[in-house]
Amino acid sequence: MSVSEEITLNVETLCNELNKHNYSYYVLDNPSIPDAEYDRLLLSLKKLETEYPSLITPESPTQRVGGEPLAGFTQVSHELPMLSLDNAFNEEDMIDFNRRVADRLKLADKDGEYENVEYACEPKLDGIAVSLLYEDGILIRGATRGDGQTGENITENVRTINSIPLKLLGNDFPKRLEVRGEIYMPKSAFDALNTEAERLGNKPFVNPRNAAAGSLRQLDPKITASRNLEMCCYSVGIVEGGALANTHETSLRKLNGWGLRINAEMQVVKGIPGCMKYYNFMADKRNTLPYEIDGIVFKVNDLDRQVRLGFVSKAPRWAIAHKFPAQEELTKVLDVDFQVGRTGAVTPVARLAPVFVGGVTVSNATLHNMDEIKRLGVMIGDAVIIRRAGDVIPQIVKVIEEKRTGDVKSILIPSHCPVCDSEVLQVEGEAVARCSGGLFCGAQRKEAIKHFASRKAMDIDGLGDKLVEALVDSGDVETVAGLFTLTKDQVSGLERMADKSAENLLRSLENAKETTLARFVYSLGIREVGETTARTLANAFGSLANIKMASVESLLEVPDIGPIMANHIVSFFEQSHNNEIIDQLIEAGVHWPDVEIDKKSQALQGKTFVITGTLSDMTREEAKEQLLALGAKVSGSVSKKTHCVIAGEAAGSKLKKAEDLGIKVMNEKGFITFISSFAL
């Protein structure tokens, strides 16, 4: 299936957003969005990756759990990964989960009826997942989950928590035992902490989860000791030199007997009716509990069945977390601000009269885009119903029009970026408005530099994402042009950058100054302009000056450039900020030869080729370069629009599809002869 640049960009954008939120949530303990919004983004990414599996990368948030550990603590590698849980949001999701369990365990009879699976039910505490390692009954290490593979060593801090035994009771415990659970802050401790913070003039914590995370990651254990944290165990990891039991419930009871706290609300039920009865019971009881919960965790109780069910890449197949539903309150829209994201998306944010909903005070809510504002019919001054969907995200779900007064104001998207004052553009048919100052805008700075330095753009070896982050955060680089004014002292002064590394980077920057017009145009990050389009522009116009002066009409004459892309190109070069940075790059020594516009560079325009199999006299990338130089388009999949397939050794499904569709096929020898015919 062909993957368009738009779909690829959507996946990249979702990955970037989710990775940013993972970092804020798991590493900085400073959530940038509520959980429900994160779930929505992750679900969107999963759907795209399911439909287009070629876009799945090892870096995708769907392929891993959480974020990276903080550098302030030593790292701990988990011998068994600490995985997260899949979520259910309604009874239908629970029924689907039970069906998957029963199908894998082959529990359905000939009439399709399922045996009632036994589930252990526990409240889902809103805290921090941790691992405790005991050897010969002695606590030797405490660690956070981190990214599931590597966490932070917090041993000295967990030793201060009274509910964590430093030595296990009894003598029948395994020689080596890893206990996993949740460290949390009780509501009473949270209230006392914030009361004291307000008395001292400090900023209060947002919720108990953030308070627990901040307390647990204090470098001074005395501070942790003063915060009255608790721990509740919910599972085990490593068990060596001994055994627990054959069910989840009895295993936890054993932990309890050895001095470890388990949740007193735990129950064992049968089937989904039992799960839903427990879920509804705890939902009613939720506000009376001495701690915050955001749902219920259901686990197959039989441990042998857990082993048979196994895991997917990020979660066990034998457990699921059923989130509690949204909670709603009435409040008022005081104003609307516009925030600029890393891709230039301009997002409206409603400022609300503070309201306590879902356990926290909410004072703002995202409105997503102007289409959402139109759908809701919301205006500044309106009374609205605010909901924390999935128990976390603040959302405006309804306008109470009967409460509307005469002093309401319409919400208008700004004509210029609130960060850099570049023009804000909204292409017809797109919901998202974007800042056009891609090279200049501070909100887009890091992403613009990362793209500029990437392999298919300026190919600056050694300038990875983390180094870009460090250079921007230090203030040493504000735009892509600033890369070429870096000094050895600036670079070597950064964390983990020695003199040799600094010298290598400066050498790479010097080498990158010599490039091609196509690479340079691609490096600018013009919206919708990918590698192939950049080459097409270079071949069609020959020079940067000609591209900058091109009108929408002249751009539309170029193959594969439509109205939306043409408008993006014209708008980019109309921004004085972008042109100033291009001039700075040229002044810094970035240069390229103009492209001679001749019939050769247009010889294969409008024709699409596919390369498959292994070539012996050249690489597939080299073959692609030769086709692109002649104006051809090179696709990764075969369709009716394909002009020709170049088939090397061991060509597979693409060759078969070409033959089925009656598409012309060339072997490598025929391709070399074909390409040679265009030589001058």
Please say which residue of 566, 597, 628 terminates a domain.
597
CA 602, CA 542: separation in Å to the nearest integer?
A: 12
Distance CA 151, CA 131 (A): 9
The pLDDT value recorded for residue 208 is 84
Amino acid identity, residue 480?
Answer: V
Instruction: For 89-130, write each residue's pLDDT tens digit.
Output: 889 999 999 999 998 888 876 555 677 899 999 999 988 999
Give the closest residue to 239 by CA, choosing from 327, 145, 326, 307: 307
CATH at 398: 2.40.50.140
Question: What tens digit of pLDDT does each residue of 594-605 get?
Answer: 887 655 556 777
- Does residue 638 fall inside a structural domain? yes
Q: Is residue 224 part of a domain?
A: yes
Beta carbons of 18 and 61 less than 8 angstroms apart: yes
Q: Are residues 351 and 314 in the same domain?
A: no
pLDDT at 64: 39
Q: Environment class of residue 76 by beta-carbon count within 10 Å: exposed (0-12), middle (13-18) or buried (19+)?
A: buried
Q: Which of 403, 438, 471 is the last residue of a domain?
A: 403
Going by pLDDT thresholds of 50, 70 and 90, the confidence category of residue 251 is very high
Residues 470 and 604 in one domain: no
CATH of the domain at 557: 1.10.150.20
Residue 73 belongs to a domain = no
Answer yes or no: do 235 and 318 share one domain.
Answer: yes
pLDDT in tens, 656-668: 889 888 999 999 8
Which residues are known to be catalytic? 124
- Are 376 and 264 in a shared domain? no
**Rounded to whole angstroms, how far apart are CA atoms 474 and 490?**
9
Task: Flag whether pLDDT at 79 surpasses 70.
Answer: yes
pTM: predicted TM-score of the whole model, two decimal places: 0.46
**CATH code of the domain covering residue 57:** 1.10.287.610
Evaluate whether residue 549 is within a structural domain. Answer: yes
pLDDT digits (tens, 9 = 90+) for 454-499: 988 999 998 988 898 888 888 888 889 999 999 988 888 887 788 8
Residue 437 lies in a domain: yes
Q: Measure the CA–CA gap between 547 and 591, rounded to whole angstroms.
A: 16
Q: Examine the domain organization and report whether 249 and 287 are in the same domain.
A: yes
pLDDT at 317: 93
**338 within domain boundaries:** yes
pLDDT tens track for 546-579: 999 988 888 887 877 888 889 889 988 988 888 9
Q: Do residues 579 and 465 share a domain?
A: yes
Query: What's the structural domain count of the chain?
Result: 5
Judged against a pLDDT cut of 90, whether residue 22 lies above it is answered with: no
Return the beta strands (E) in 199-271 as ranges: 230-240, 267-270
Amino acid 588: pLDDT? 93
Are both 248 and 182 inside the same structural domain? yes
Task: Answer yes or no: do 442 and 542 share one domain.
Answer: yes
- Which residue segment(s) compose the domain that 362 sits in? 327-403
Q: Is the pLDDT of residue 587 over 60?
A: yes
Both 287 and 370 in one domain: the answer is: no
pLDDT, position 27: 36
Same domain, 9 and 150: no
Query: Residue 593 is encoded by which pair of tokens?
Result: 């030869």
Q: What is the mean pLDDT of residues 153-162?
A: 86
Residue 79 inside a domain? The answer is no
Q: What is the pLDDT of residue 181?
A: 95
Which domain CATH number covers 617? 3.40.50.10190
Are residue 230 and residue 375 in the same domain, yes or no? no
Residue 478: inside a domain: yes
Single residue among 296, 323, 350 that ends a domain in this structure: 323
- Taking every pair of C-alpha atoms in the chain, what is the biggest distance, in angstroms? 87
- For residues 365 and 448, state if they share a domain: no
